[in-house]
Structure 1
Amino acid sequence: MATQNTPDFKGSSSSDVQGQQHQQPASIQDKASGLLSGLNGQLKTFGDSAAGQLGKLSTTQKVVGGLALAAGISWLSKAMNKRSA
């Protein structure tokens, strides 16, 4: 009896023993789906909160914050290029 593990199109593996396939129980997929939907709700809540806080900033604070963010991204990009070269 030969056992062969091959990934299916979803990235999970299924065993093939003499033509019989065993797949993961649906409950694991249901749990993963539930976790992702819960995460989606948390991200929406965080996004709404962040947008509300951003709306409270003055225009000057937004400009300075944007410039600081751009400078930080630029610095990180240059540091990563030096490291990989």
Structure 2
Amino acid sequence: MNQDSLKADIVFKAIGQSMQDTMFSGSGMPEIKKGKIAVNNDYETSLTGVWSGGDCLGSGEDLTVQAVEDGKQAANSIHQKIMQQ
């Protein structure tokens, strides 16, 4: 792994489309509501240690500026969780 890459098991790339709520049912994937990834107030998904942001969320805003803000908020949440350990 170099400076320009991150190790991940899976990455969801959102392009303004939606997913079927049952598509990932029972397969260890995050909960889907209304075709978007469901998150709590800290942007954490139903999977412990997995956060999400941007247009794959059900926030209603499919804008780059909203995705950046979601990323900042998720990063703050991740930082807080790490500091509590």
- TM (norm. structure 1) is 0.27
Larger RCO (CA under 8 A, 6+ residues apart): 2
Structure (1/2) with the larger helix percentage: 1
Q: Which has the larger radius of gyration?
A: 1
Higher strand share goes to which structure?
1
Scaled by the length of structure 2, what TM-score is found? 0.27
